[in-house]
Amino acid sequence: MTIYYYTNMSRVCQICGKKSIMKRKLNKLRGKYNPTPKKRKYPNLQWVTLADGKRVKACTKCIRTLSKKKK
């Protein structure tokens, strides 16, 4: 398992490196799609304590995977 340590990026998962993406919403306007509205989507990051005692921000998918490995 690789742990990514980003010092100044608070919206990045420090376990898998997942970060924000740009999503485009397609609005249908008079029979044609207008792809202008863009929105940045952020991952669901939560504080979690690892087995070695470090607190990191991890996405919920990584938290679920870590809990499976403990059992």
Within-domain flag for 25: yes
Whether 42 contacts 48, CB under 8 Å: no
Whether 7 maps to a domain, the answer reads no
Q: With a cut of 70, say whether residue 56 has pLDDT above it.
A: yes
Whether residue 66 has pLDDT greater than 70: yes
* Res 19: pLDDT: 93
Number of structural domains (the chain) is 1
Q: Greatest CA span in the chain, whole angstroms? A: 58
The runs of H, that is alpha helices, within 1-71 are: 60-70
Please report, as a single letter, which amino acid is at residue 56: V
pLDDT per residue as tens digits for the range 17-37: 999 999 887 778 787 777 777
| Domain membership flag for residue 13 | no
What is the residue range of 55's domain?
Answer: 21-70
The pLDDT of 11-19, averaged and rounded, is: 93
Whole-model pTM over 0.75 = no
Which of 29, 62, 57, 30 is closest to 45 using CA atoms?
A: 57
